[in-house]
Amino acid sequence: MAYIDLIKEKARADRKTIVMPETTDKRTLIAASHIIQEEIADIILVGNEEKIMDGAGWLEVDLSGCHVIDPQKTEKLDEYVELLYETRKSKGMTPEKARELLLSDPLTFGVVMVKANDADGMVAGACHATADVLRPSLQILRTAPGVKLVSGFFILDVPDCDLGYNGTFLFADCGLNQDPTPEELAAIADTSAKSFKNLIGAKPIIAMLSHSTKGSAKHPLVDKVVEATKIAHEQYPHLMLDGELQTDAALIPSVAKSKAPESEVAGKANVLIFPNLDAGNIGYKLVQRLAKAEAYGPMLQGIAKPVNDLSRGCTWEDIVGVVALTAVQAQLV
């Protein structure tokens, strides 16, 4: 069974409510229809109901099982205005600004629904930049207790692959932090380990990636990964983690024996921590396109409640997968 099918089964076992605010995007409407049909989650769509249903008719999809909330008409608007105001008043928010924002920005409206416990999570980003999704999420929901920073990851499910965990990997950070410090890389490794355990159910084996393996190259970029590995060992000693490792040394047992024979991680890694956003973003897209892997994300980790971003190049099938993953994350909050 494919990895995402297992996630869908988990989501069905304890159905959560996910808000999808990008209702002017046809992929969102198609995905919502399939999510309801497959009983993966309960769905809230944000927007004008007549326009949404007209779009569904044009697309020939059934949205009758979805709950549509129109910010202009909902009886909860005043409650949401007060919640947003109270949450952000120390940053200059006024009731008037809160009302204007809720009526004009469906992403903020969706995040406030999650904050109010009227939804368990939100999925957006099909037609918005990551910053647009992340900004209200961090401002309103904030980071989870004990988390040092929010980061992004992808779940990659590679067909006909015996590496990683039955061909399944977690790549981080592929969508958010441009050039993390050693301390931030170590923190990303820790939260990624938790995400891997929660969403895949296997022991995370974490490789801190570099263009060098165990001193084979000298460069400040290598030094950063070496320092990050040291910090991770000190602050998160429970993690099965090693670095610096080249990708082939991290994944291929025969290469690991040659390049890093003393490493318990080399040749076995299923969680790959990239040294910067360039490497992570390029890496996941190469695997997705050349290995024909299913790529789910960028998922966000470290926010107090589940909010997940989508690539603007996503398909409706990708949205279904991310909603399923978000629902499983919500079961763990």
Show pLDDT as tens, one digit a residue, over the chain (333 residues).
Answer: 688 899 999 999 999 999 999 999 999 999 999 999 999 999 999 999 999 999 999 999 999 999 999 999 999 999 999 999 999 999 999 999 999 999 999 999 999 999 999 999 999 998 998 889 889 998 999 888 888 888 999 999 999 999 999 999 999 998 888 999 999 999 999 999 999 998 898 999 999 999 999 989 999 999 999 999 999 999 999 999 998 999 999 999 999 999 999 999 999 999 999 999 999 999 999 999 999 998 887 888 988 999 998 888 889 998 999 999 999 999 988
* The pLDDT value given to residue 1: 63
Closest CA to 141 of 178, 179, 113: 113
Apex CA 322: angle with CA 154 and CA 172, to 5°?
Answer: 15
C-alpha Rg value of the chain to the nearest Å: 21
Q: Where would I find the beta strands (DSSP E) of 217-310?
A: 240-245, 271-273, 294-301, 307-309
Closest CA to 260 of 281, 273, 270, 245: 245
Exposure on the CB side of residue 120, measured as CA atoms within 13 A: 20
Residue 294 pairs with which residues in a beta bridge? 157
Closest CA to 19 of 143, 131, 103, 133: 133
Cα gap 70→77, rounded to integer Å: 10
Residue 309 pairs with which residues in a beta bridge? 124
The CA-to-CA distance between both ends of the chain, in Å, stands at 26
- Residue in the structure block whose two tokens are 């004008």: 48
Closest CA to 152 of 192, 108, 121, 111: 192
Hey, how many other C-beta atoms are within 10 angstroms of the C-beta on 235? 14
Cα–Cα distances in Å, from 65 out to 38, 39, 54? 11, 10, 15
For residue 73 the two structure tokens come to: 């008409």
Which amino acid makes up residue 153? F
The DSSP H or E segment spanning 45 is strand 42-46
SS3 43: strand
Strands 294-301 and 307-309 come out as unpaired
